[in-house]
């Protein structure tokens, strides 16, 4: 949520906003969310910081101010002389970092795609944004499609399109040279899952490791399998989330980013899960309700 303010707030609207002890940081009363209100390059920006915690909002405010000023510098460079793609890359990175709606892992993944793009197209960084042609993009795509997996290829051309969309937004181009690049078909992989007996044997093999974290790894494998959890979200399940009366587990995910779909969900405890949790609880009676099940 980001926009430039043009008119002063009306008396009714001003009651919805609350000042804080920190400059450029305000609170939207109806939702309790904090917003940045900063002036950069003569433009007044009000943007949600995606948090209701003051200490977190203060940190994000500092990051946002730094990113907006860096973005302004990158934009200025794009408007001067040879508008090199490297400046467009910097601008795209600044925008991605300032977008708190994008999860950290997603940002990391797109940084990986960007690295792959620049490595597979070494001359791109120095090219003039305004002179990159559709033929240039097609030649690169033809070569890169032979090197990358279908999903990696599709996501990389998606990134390239978004960067040139940004150039169009900044008035540097009228059209997107990557717009007509064709995605490749992603073939679904056939999964061969182990049967119950095979799974039990696998866990026993892991648990039989005479040294290292074998025992803990076996417990984790069982926990993931019995609950259908992703590894990242499983690490945030605490004993307070395990409701033995209702035989279900509440999956919240990361405190800031939530689960993959940004939604909480309840997972039923199958008998195998109940036995696993009872054994872990008996082995660690000193754990508090806030302690993660998978230490």
User: pLDDT digit string (tens) for 181-205?
Assistant: 999 998 877 778 888 899 999 999 8
Average pLDDT, the chain: 83
pTM of full prediction above 0.95: no
- Report pLDDT digits (tens) over 110-166: 999 999 999 999 999 999 988 999 999 999 999 999 999 999 999 999 999 999 998
Neighbours of 161 (CB within 10 A): 17
Can you list the domains of the chain with their CATH numbers? 79-190 (1.10.150.130), 196-283 (1.10.443.10)
- Residue 5's pLDDT band (boundaries 50, 70, 90)? very low
Instruction: Report the alpha-carbon distance of residue 143 to residue 251 in Å, rounded.
Output: 43
Q: What is the pLDDT of residue 279?
A: 93
- How sure is the predictor about 262, in pLDDT bands with cuts at 50, 70 and 90? low
Comparing 165 with 232, which gets the higher pLDDT?
165
Write the CA distances from 8 to 11, 12, 42, 49, integer angstroms.
Answer: 9, 11, 16, 21
Position 80 scores a pLDDT of 53
CB atoms within 10 A of CB 218: 18
Indicate the pLDDT class of residue 72, thresholds 50, 70 and 90: low
């Amino acid at each position: 949520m980001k926009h430039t303010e043009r008119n002063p707030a009306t008396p009714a609207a001003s009651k919805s906003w609350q000042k804080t002890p920190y400059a450029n940081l305000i609170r939207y009363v109806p939702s309790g969310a904090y917003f940045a209100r900063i002036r950069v390059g003569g433009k007044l920006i009000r943007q949600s910081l995606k948090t209701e915690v003051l200490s977190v909002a203060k940190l994000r405010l500092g990051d946002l101010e730094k990113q907006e000023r860096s973005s302004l510098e990158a934009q200025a460079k794009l408007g001067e002389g040879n508008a090199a793609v490297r400046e467009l890359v910097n601008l795209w990175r600044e925008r991605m970092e300032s977008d708190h709606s994008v999860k950290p892992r997603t940002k990391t993944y797109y940084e990986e795609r960007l690295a792959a793009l620049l490595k597979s197209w070494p001359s791109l960084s120095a090219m003039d944004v305004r002179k990159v042609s559709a033929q240039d993009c097609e030649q690169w795509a033809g070569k890169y499609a032979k090197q990358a997996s279908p999903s990696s290829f599709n996501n990389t051309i998606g990134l390239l399109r978004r960067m040139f969309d940004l150039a169009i937004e900044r008035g540097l181009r009228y059209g997107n040279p990557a717009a007509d690049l064709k995605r490749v078909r992603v073939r679904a992989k056939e999964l061969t899952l182990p049967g119950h007996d095979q799974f039990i044997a696998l866990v026993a093999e892991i648990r039989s490791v005479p040294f290292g974290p074998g025992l803990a790894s076996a417990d984790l494998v069982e926990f993931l399998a019995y609950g259908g959890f992703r590894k990242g979200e499983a690490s945030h399940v605490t004993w307070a989330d395990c409701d033995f009366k209702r035989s279900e587990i509440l999956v919240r995910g990361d405190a800031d980013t939530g689960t993959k779909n940004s939604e909480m969900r309840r997972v039923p405890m199958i008998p195998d899960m109940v036995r696993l949790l009872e054994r872990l609880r008996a082995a660690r009676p000193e754990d508090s309700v806030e302690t993660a099940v998978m230490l």
